[in-house]
Amino acid sequence: MKIAIAQLNFHIGNFTGNVDKMLAAVAEAKQQGADLVCFSELATCGYPPRDFLEFDDFIRQAEAAVDRLAQAAQGIAIVVGSPSRNPVIEGKDLYNSAFFLADGKIQQVQHKTLLPTYDIFDEYRYFEPAHEFKVVEYQGKRIALTVCEDIWNIGNENPLYTICPMDELMPQRPDFILNLSASPFSHTQAESRIHVVRSNIERYQIPMFYVNHAGAQTELIFDGGSIVMSPDGKLHDELPYFEECVRTYALDEVIEGGVERTQPKDKMALIHDAIVLGVKDYFGKLGFKKAILGLSGGIDSAVTAALAARALGPENVRVVLMPSQYSSDHSIDDARALAENMGLKYDIIPIQPTFAAYEEMLKPQFAGLAFNITEENIQARIRGMILMAMSNKFGHIVLNTSNKSEAAVGYGTLYGDMCGGLSVIGDVYKTEVFELARYINKDGEVIPENTITKPPSAELRPNQKDSDSLPDYEILDAVLYQYIEKRQGPRELIDMGYDEALVRRILRLVNINEFKRFQTAPTIRVSTKAFGMGRRMPIVGKYLS
């Protein structure tokens, strides 16, 4: 038997486009001599469909998509993920299902058993878990059909679940495992994925074909990296990251094992490629073409501009330099140099006259009061207004340039520098932004060296530096990582050796600024715990405030 993995980029709700793409992959798999082609979890509708699943018409279109694919299952079997209805009154209305199609019809359906409801996942909101387990018999082989999380409770050791689907299927003596996944990217996920697949192989001693999505759905990135693993635990093949691919494998060769093929896993390369794909698909799937952002001469806007240009093409990225009386000459020069290095169209719109007009207008109300954060925020909001005006006039989408460190502690201005349709580096800590800049420059200077080496500054008052208001980023980011990603509280952080006053100050800043993050653009997720859908915190919580 020859088995094809079709790692594709699906578009949520685009049933016609998704099926057309799968039919093209079916034809390609046939050309490669495949007997069976496998697509990923909820491939007909795209993942995650969220509350679209509550619309009866959405489910009808998913059913029609499966019917179209079934008609194409002639001379080749097709395995595809799609929602299906629960025919009984008890339980949720839907299942998250894997359909086995052959000879022009649906031969068998296996529902997903383990429904993740944590971090970015909320599947128990919509789906009923499977209660029956039956292998699929095809061309003399017995196939264990599983869906994503079903392989993540090895030997029933995961405390989130009480059943292990593969343990239920093994008495039926399957010859291999097919797993249909929608496994979102983080820069550590590829290693975790391989570890879980290998752990299944070690327990069950049969090969696995694991197919993943490749593409972006707003903040979620799916990196592909589909896996074929032999019974000896060797990674027979790992498909490319961040791109579509159809590959066919002879089952006998996979069973024989002995071959190891892996993809490189450099952290910055993964983050870079994930963000580029995220920006590209956000624009492409929404039908947008052009982006605009403010270019200050600082590291964050420089990295954002470079990533956007690589995603959309430099001809589709416009940058605006908006100097004030506090902007240094080198910042303006650095911003101009970056734009020229990348061939970006740029405008220079000084904000000093507008800021002076605001000062004059508010003089009666602010009489006798010292310059403070109010005036700093006015400057940021003037810049935000300029970007939004340009966006409205020319149809460009504003890209937000805030990093994760700033977003965490509220070092940003609502309706100013925090505006935008998509947060590009909002899940990248400041120290990582510098690493990313170095990676962008690995083949030659794109981001001016001075932008990377100078002390970070918002330049909203004379001689301002970020370090005036925040701890050094090396310390700040270390504490933030432990609190956000690792969920370590103040006592644990203090026990690690961090200063108590500093810990309590940082954690308080994170918590009291939840209201800002609640109002900001969706953030491309590259870590294991990003702000947004995967981190749900109360705005008015008292904890550490």
Residue 90 has a pLDDT of 85
Residue 469 has pLDDT above 90, yes or no: no
Kindly state the tokens that stand for 43.
Answer: 């491939």
Kindly state the tokens that stand for 373.
Answer: 């954060």
The region of weakest confidence among 22-26, 166-170, 193-197, 532-536 is: 532-536
Q: What is the pLDDT of residues 363-422, one digit of tens each?
A: 999 999 999 999 999 999 999 999 999 999 999 999 999 999 999 999 999 999 999 999
**Whole-angstrom Cα distance, residue 271 to residue 277?**
10
State the DSSP code for 342: H
- Strand, helix or coil for residue 93: coil
Q: Is 235 left (phi over 0), alpha (psi -120 to 50) or beta?
A: beta
**Whole-angstrom Cα distance, residue 10 to residue 21?**
8
Cis peptide before 48 (omega within 30 of 0): yes
Residue 93 has pLDDT above 80, yes or no: yes
**Whole-angstrom Cα distance, residue 1 to residue 228?**
14
Residue 158 has a pLDDT of 87
Residue with tokens 């490749």: 214
Topology (CATH level 3) of domain 287-466: Rossmann fold (3.40.50)
| Percent of the chain topping pLDDT 70 | 99
Topology (CATH level 3) of domain 2-265: Nitrilase/N-carbamoyl-D-aminoacid amidohydrolase (3.60.110)
**Whole-angstrom Cα distance, residue 372 to residue 466?**
15
Residue 89 has pLDDT above 90, yes or no: no
**Whole-angstrom Cα distance, residue 39 to residue 31?**
17
Residue 466 has a pLDDT of 74
Could you tell me the CA-to-CA distances from 210 to 41, 47, 241 in Å, in that order? 11, 16, 14
Q: Which one of the listed residues 21, 45, 112, 280 is annotated catalytic?
A: 112
**Whole-angstrom Cα distance, residue 71 to residue 163?**
35
Query: What residues does each domain of the chain span?
Result: 2-265, 287-466
Strand 2-7 relative to strand 291-294, pairing? unpaired
Residue 545 has pLDDT above 60, yes or no: no
**Whole-angstrom Cα distance, residue 198 to residue 202?**
6
Residue 458 has pLDDT above 90, yes or no: no
Could you tell me the CA-to-CA distances from 174 to 137, 142, 145, 207 in Å, in that order? 9, 5, 9, 10
Q: Is 30 left (phi over 0), alpha (psi -120 to 50) or beta?
A: alpha
First to last CA, the chain: 61
Tell me which range, 53-57, 90-94, 461-465, is most confidently predicted by mean pLDDT: 53-57
**Whole-angstrom Cα distance, residue 225 to residue 212?**
7
Q: What average pLDDT score do residues 495-503 get?
A: 96
Q: HEC profile for 173-218?
A: CCCEEEEECCCECCCCHHHHHHHHHHHHHHHHCCCEEEECCEEEEC
- The number of beta carbons lying within 10 Å of the beta carbon of residue 371 is 11
Residue 482 has a pLDDT of 97
Catalytic: 148? Answer: yes
Q: What is the pLDDT of residues 423-453, one digit of tens each?
A: 999 999 999 999 999 999 999 999 999 999 9
- The number of beta carbons lying within 10 Å of the beta carbon of residue 71 is 12
Q: What is the pLDDT of residues 299-324, one digit of tens each?
A: 999 999 999 999 999 999 999 999 98
Q: Find, among 35, 106, 39, 37, the residue nearest to 75 by Cα.
A: 35
Q: Which one of the listed residues 21, 38, 128, 148 is annotated catalytic?
A: 148
**Whole-angstrom Cα distance, residue 482 to residue 501?**
16
Q: What is the pLDDT of residues 206-264, one digit of tens each?
A: 999 999 999 999 999 999 999 999 999 999 999 999 999 999 999 999 999 988 999 99
- Return the exposure string of 36-46: e unless at least 16 CB atoms fall within 10 Å of the residue's CB, then b: bbbbbbbbbbb
Report yes or no: 542 and 238 within 8 Å, Cβ to Cβ.
Answer: no
pLDDT band at 201 (very low <50, low <70, confident <90, very high): very high
CA dihedral angle for residue 173, residue 174, residue 176, residue 181, rounded to 10 degrees: -130
